[in-house]
Structure 1
Amino acid sequence: MNHPLFYALLMLVAGIGIPVMAALNAGLGARLHSPALAAAILFAIGFCVALSYLLLTQGMPATVFAPHTPWYFYLGGFFVMFYILSITWVAPRFGVANAVAFVLLGQLIAMTVIDHFGLLGASQLQLSLKRALGLLLMAGGVFLVLAKPANG
């Protein structure tokens, strides 16, 4: 499928999965009394799923290192591990909504910088006034979602 609507729906489902995963892993970490063990279990299951998908769809690759690929392209695992371990530890203490909202805010900041400068091989998309306003509205929305209701 090579259709923008398919991509949008797939990413919507992926986005739904982030707080679900955070709540599940936070609960597992709390029950195991170890956010690190919960993160390790999550990655072990994720590795099995990813490896199965790879083998079913493409077979065994000849190598995992692509020629002329900068070393830093292999650091994605570090960032996903940091995210999983931190949200597994923080969510039971700070709340899933608070944790995910600040993750979303961090994503908004990072996507803006990456796109504006065309970093890491991304297409460059300059920060226009219209886009900056949209980002500010999204960031404001994150904080409005977190606002405690007034007791009245």
Structure 2
Amino acid sequence: MTKLLSFPFLIAAASGIAMAIQGSLNSLLQQKTHLLAATFVVHLIGLIVALLTVLVYRVPITQYPWASIPWYLYLGGVLSVLIIGLVAFSIPKIGVCNATTAIIIGQVAAALIIDHFGWLGIERLPWNPWQILGLILFAAGAKLLFD
């Protein structure tokens, strides 16, 4: 129970709220422009905000061994573009609630698999029967949210 209301949990929940708002805004932007143009502009604005934040906090960005870091650790940038585009595409077709529900089910299922096998260098945390049951019940509950 302590994990449920912990600060990291609340931060993650706030992230979820931000993601639902972000998806809605990106969807509206792509409806007024083009999916690829909207995705590009959203990331350009993100780049500017990230750059300003790095400058304000004086993060020593040039002191890191970027070239020696495994290439696949940079795929987060590629996935970010993919995620923004797919969310902006899906929301107008199935709605914010349905899209967000599908996103969360996909995230939880992928997270269970990544934890269980210790993929991507993540510490291995084997799943237990309660987690599998939780995912099944979560998916069943999600079905109730779909129109």
Query: TM tier, shorter chain?
Result: 0.7 to 0.9
- TM-score (norm: length of structure 2): 0.88
Greater alpha carbon shift after TM alignment, 43-52 vs 55-64: 55-64
Residue pairs, 1:2-151, within 5 angstroms: 5-32=6-33, 34-62=34-62, 65-66=65-66, 68-146=68-146, 148=147
Give unpaired runs (5+ residues) of structure 1: none
- Structure-1 separation of matches of 2:95 and 2:64: 38
Inter-partner Cα distance in structure 2 for 1:24 and 1:89 = 12
> Do the aligned partners of residues 116 and 143 (structure 1) sit closer, same or farther apart at CA in structure 2, a change above 3 Å counting?
same
Q: Secondary structure at the match of 1:58?
A: coil
State the percentage of identical aligned residues.
31
SS of the residue 2:86 aligns to: helix
Question: Could you tell me how far apart the structure 2 residues matched to 1:125 and 1:30 are?
Answer: 41
Query: 8 Å contact 2:90–2:99 — kept in the other structure?
Result: yes
Question: Residues 27 and 116 (structure 1 numbering): CA distance in 2 closer, same or farther, change over 3 Å?
Answer: same
Matched letter for residue 85 of structure 1: G
User: Unmatched 5+ residue regions in structure 2?
Assistant: none
Determine if contact 2:23/2:91 at 8 Å carries over to the other structure: yes
Instruction: Tell me, in whole angstroms, the C-alpha distance in 1 between the residues paired with 2:106 and 2:141.
Output: 14
* Post-superposition offset of 1:78: 1.0
Per-residue CA deviation, residues 62-103 of structure 1 (Å, 9 max, x unaligned), is 156446422111101111111101111221122222222211
1:58 to partner: Cα distance: 3.5
Instruction: Count residues with an aligned counterpart.
Output: 144
